[in-house]
Structure 1
Amino acid sequence: MSDSKQTHTSHPATLKRLRRAEGHLRGIIAMIEAGRSCLDIAQQLHAVEKAVGQAKRTLIQDHLDHCLEDVVGPLPRNQRRSIDEFKEITKYL
């Protein structure tokens, strides 16, 4: 793991999403402890899973848009195509 601190414009929104998912997860734990139906619990788990997945995608896209660009720097159009295609295909992860 890197020790350097990296902050991007998407980080505050990502933190907000993760904190909301954290609270939601606590609610799911309470639902299980209270004996709520498996269907209700599964629906809520699905929502948390989607929220965390979206936070991950946002973080990765932001990293590619900023950090990768910094490393690669300006490239001629014919060399740029591979980088642009890589960034585009990662949206489907």
Structure 2
Amino acid sequence: MGTEHRHQSHPRIVARLKRAEGHLNSVVAMIEAGRPCLEIAQQLQAVESAIRNAKQALIHDHVDHCLGARDSESELEELKTITRYL
């Protein structure tokens, strides 16, 4: 975990997460302002979807770019480990 690990997709994933962060901050403001629960729930769903999409993009990128560089036994073990997060 101590080594730097970057892919071309990481800036796009960071951008997705920053947008999700902005949406989440908006949800907090909506709650504090007493907005209707239906509106809040819809926005929370959007935040959840954005985070899920970012996670899937990260994992798919990892599978595409990292797992092919190892021997098959360690590849399979890493694939099993990372799929827990899907």
Q: TM-score range by the shorter chain?
A: 0.7 to 0.9
Counterparts of 1:34-45 in structure 2, within 5 Å, are 34-45=33-44
1:24 corresponds in structure 2 to 23
RMSD, aligned CA = 1.6
Q: Which runs of 4+ in 1 moved over 3 A?
A: none
Counterparts of 1:1-93 in structure 2, within 5 Å, are 2-72=1-71, 93=86
Provide structure 1 residue ranges, at least 5 long, that are not aligned to the other structure: 74-82
SS at match of 1:5: coil
Deviation at 1:70, TM superposition (A): 1.3
Deviation at 1:24, TM superposition (A): 0.7
Number of residue pairs matched by the alignment: 76
Provide structure 2 residue ranges, at least 5 long, that are not aligned to the other structure: none
SS at match of 1:36: coil
Q: d(CA) in 2 for partners of 1:9 and 1:72?
A: 24
- Aligned-residue identity in percent: 55
| AA in 2 matched with 1:61 | H
Q: Which structure's CA Rg is the greater one?
A: 1
Give per-residue Cα distances to partners, 1:8-41, cap 9 Å, x unaligned.
1110100000000001100000000000000000
| AA in 2 matched with 1:20 | R
